[in-house]
Structures are given as C-alpha cells and as structure tokens.
Amino acid sequence: MHRRHTHTSTTVKWRTDLEKGAISSNCDRRGWERVSSDNSDDWNFYWASVSTVKQIFNPENGYRLGDNQVISHFPNHYELTRKDMMVKNIKRFLKEQHKEGHTMDDYVPTTYLLPADYSLFVEEFRRNPHSMWIMKPTAKARGIGIFIVNKLAQIKKWANNRMSTPTSHNNYVISRYIDNPLLIGGKKFDLRIYALVTSYRPLRVFIHEDGFARFTNARYNNDVTDLDNMYVHLTNVAIQKNGEDYNEKHGNKWVLKNLRLYMEATVGYDKTTVLFQQIEDIIISSLRAVQHVIINDKHCFECYGYDVIIDDALKPWLVEVNASPSLGATTHNDRIMKHGLINDTLCAVIPGPTVDLRARPHNAGHQGERVGGYYLAYDETLGDLNKHRNRKDGNGGGNGGNASETGNSGLGGSRSRFGSRNGKWR
C-alpha cells in the first residue's frame, strides 16, 4: 500500500477545495503554507469537498494517509448527511434503544424513500388524507428540487416516471410536513447549529455556542394555494435571497443568542432551557445512531451543520444534517460568526503548531471543556460527564431530567450552552 508523501517541516501545509475566506484567512493567520493542487499529496491539513474525500478513501487508489495529515470528512459521512440514510440509521437506533428500555421521542418526521417505499407511503397517506408532505432529493442541498404535496395525484406522475428508471439520482425522501411551525412575527424559521465530531469511537462531540435562525421572507400560512410559494415554506438562504422582501443587512437571520433571549421573554426561561436541551439531545442521539457504521478514521473530523425546526408545541424536529454547511457570508455578522467557527474548529483538531496524530488527544479532556465557542457536549469516555448528563436537574433537559425516571435515552440532565450568553449560565 502506498503511503502518501509527508514532510518533516514544522510549518503546517494546507489545502482546500473551497475558496472561502473563513478558511483561507484562518490558515494564513496561523502562518500555514498553502500548497497548490500540483502538490496534491504534500499537505498536513485539507478542508476537502466530499467528492475529494471519496477519491482519497477509495480502496482502489491504495493510498494511506500519514500521521501528520488531517482531513475534513469521515469516509462514509453520508450515513448521516444523506437524508435517506439519516432517517434509516436514526429509526434503527431509536428502535434498539426502546428494546433496551431507553425511550426517546421520535424527532424525525415520518419519512419514506421514493420510489422504493411508494406503496407504504400511499397506505400512510390514505390513513391521513388531509396531511401535507414535503419531497426532497436525497443528496442535494440549498433547497434544490424540494416541493410540497397534499394530494396523491401530485406525485403519481412523478413516481411513474422514476420507477421506470430507478437510480440513486432519482431517489427522493418524502416526509410529513411540519405544518404547525413556531412563528416569530408571523414567519417560519429554522435553526442552524454546528456540531464538531473529532472521534466516533469513542464518540466525542463539541457543539458551538454560535449559530443562527433563518427566517422566510413571507408570512407563513398552510393554505393549499400557497404550497408552491417557497418564500413561505423554505428557509434556505439560497432561496430567500432571491425574494423581493429579502433584507441584505441582516440576511433574514438572527443569531441564536438573540433567538434564545426572545424565547425566554415570550415562553419563559424554563421552557426555553428544556427546548434547547432537547435539541442538544437530538444532536447527540443522531451521532450515536451512526457511531458504529461510520468508519472512524483517526485522520478525520467533521463539522456538521444541523437544521432543526420547532413546532408550535415547542417540540424540536431534525430536518437534516449537512456535511458541508455553507461557509459563505451573506452579512457582516455572518462573516464574523463563520470566521470564528472555523478558527475554533482548527483549534480543536490541530491544537499545536504541528500535526501529529500519534499525540492527538482524541478523547482526552474534562467535563465542560471548551475550545473557543465550542463546548464538550458528549464524550463517552468521561464517566463524570455522562453522570452529569444523567443527573436530574431542576432546569430539565431531554424529556424531563433523570433518564431512569423519565425513560429517555440517557441524554437528559445537562444544560445546553449553545445560544446562551457567552456560553455561560446566568
């Protein structure tokens, strides 16, 4: 097996497939040396595209990364970041947890893969003929190819066309649409939250205190005449920025801290705290769901972008997990936040002046450890942290505190810090 070329210089050499200022400015500020694509093997740090990672880890290439090389995706990240795989793995995990006596409310809307599960979907649709469903391509982002349906006739023609040539490129997921979203100012929004995984076995998860809420341009309604109006139903910036009412100053976004303060003022501190803890529990549960199917390569880390929507009963729902969350900035505050996110990510995965995986502290740490805006949310090797997460807490968490008393998945009890002021509790 060919080992990739490595070097002995103390200067970190870096590459990226993404021409984003948040990456280049952080690497340049550290004094790292950028290498061109002509020297494709001579790098220590690579913020790569998913297609590049697929090539690098293709067994047919016979490459083996060196002890001083780190790359930005796990080989089969798609187990969580493809919509169909995410649903399959989470459903399996929750079922296993239930058999072991640990139950957690389902946090993914009822979902089917089309065209494979078309007959099952039809049965479910006929049981609830007045429900709304949202269709999404399994492997696309930025709102591409998404539409909402409320009649079988709307997808029968679609299904017939694709069942004649069933390929992975034609696959869609269809999910029950959350038609009762929590609204602010009459508008729908979802949350983008960043989670960093530095190791899957043992699982080690950091969550960033900074994130944002994305709002639609138009006021929400679920009238059938507006099903095609994506400015009402989809929060994706790639869609909303084309609307007439798009605000370029704030980009239709609120930072999480402001959203959390608003919710504390409107629904109360306790309910808001429980809600944010439930979101943290969802993130950790989803990562545990793929923990044993992800290839845990020591050279890899992953900065995920979680999309979560909250309904009007204050229940959070996981919409999708992004392997390559956008690093492009639409506003000044957006630019500051994303530069900070990348800085903190680099500090977590390359804590010293050089890259040496033999000394990399994958699972060394302590309860409440922080790396910039990241806080250690879960580390299965730290008994005291897990005990802290399982302890009943007056502020609640998960589905209500102590796992043994509520029967949840054992993730309740700690207090989520993302969206709180400076990551601290008042």
Q: What is the pLDDT of residues 106-126, one digit of tens each?
A: 999 999 988 888 889 999 999
Judge whether 102 lies within some domain.
no
Q: Which pair of structure tokens corresponds to residue 73?
A: 């995706």
What average pLDDT does this structure show over 256-261? 94
The reported pLDDT for the residue numbered 231 is 55
Would the pLDDT of 163 be above 80?
no
Of 125, 150, 176, which residue sits at a domain end? 176
Q: In which residue are the tokens 């922080």 written?
A: 370
Strands 183-184 and 316-322, sheet pairing: unpaired
- The larger pLDDT score, comparing residue 289 to residue 162, is at 289
Would the pLDDT of 27 be above 80?
yes
Same domain, 239 and 149: no
Contact between 370 and 423 (Cβ < 8 Å):
yes
Neighbour tally for 393: CB within 10 Å? 19
- Between the ranges 156-165, 276-285, 330-339, where is the mean pLDDT highest? 276-285
CA 129 to chain centre: 31
Label residue 154 by pLDDT band (50, 70, 90): confident
Judge whether 165 lies within some domain.
yes
Beta strands in 93-202 (DSSP E): 111-114, 133-137, 147-149, 172-176, 183-184, 187-200
Same domain, 49 and 131: no
Strands 63-64 and 212-215, sheet pairing: unpaired
The reported pLDDT for the residue numbered 203 is 95
What average pLDDT does this structure show over 91-107? 91
- The larger pLDDT score, comparing residue 305 to residue 240, is at 305
Tally the domains of the chain. Answer: 3
Would the pLDDT of 8 be above 50?
no
The reported pLDDT for the residue numbered 212 is 92
- The larger pLDDT score, comparing residue 237 to residue 421, is at 237
The reported pLDDT for the residue numbered 321 is 96
Same domain, 158 and 192: no
Would the pLDDT of 426 be above 50?
no
- The larger pLDDT score, comparing residue 222 to residue 124, is at 124
The reported pLDDT for the residue numbered 170 is 63
Same domain, 147 and 198: no
Q: Helix (H, G, I), strand (E, B), or coil: what is residue 333?
A: helix
How confident is the prediction for the chain on average, in pLDDT? 80
Q: Helix (H, G, I), strand (E, B), or coil: what is residue 425?
A: coil
Judge whether 88 lies within some domain.
no
Judge whether 104 lies within some domain.
no
The two counts, helices (H) then strands (E), for the chain are 13, 19
Determine the structural domain holding residue 293 and report its residue range.
181-423
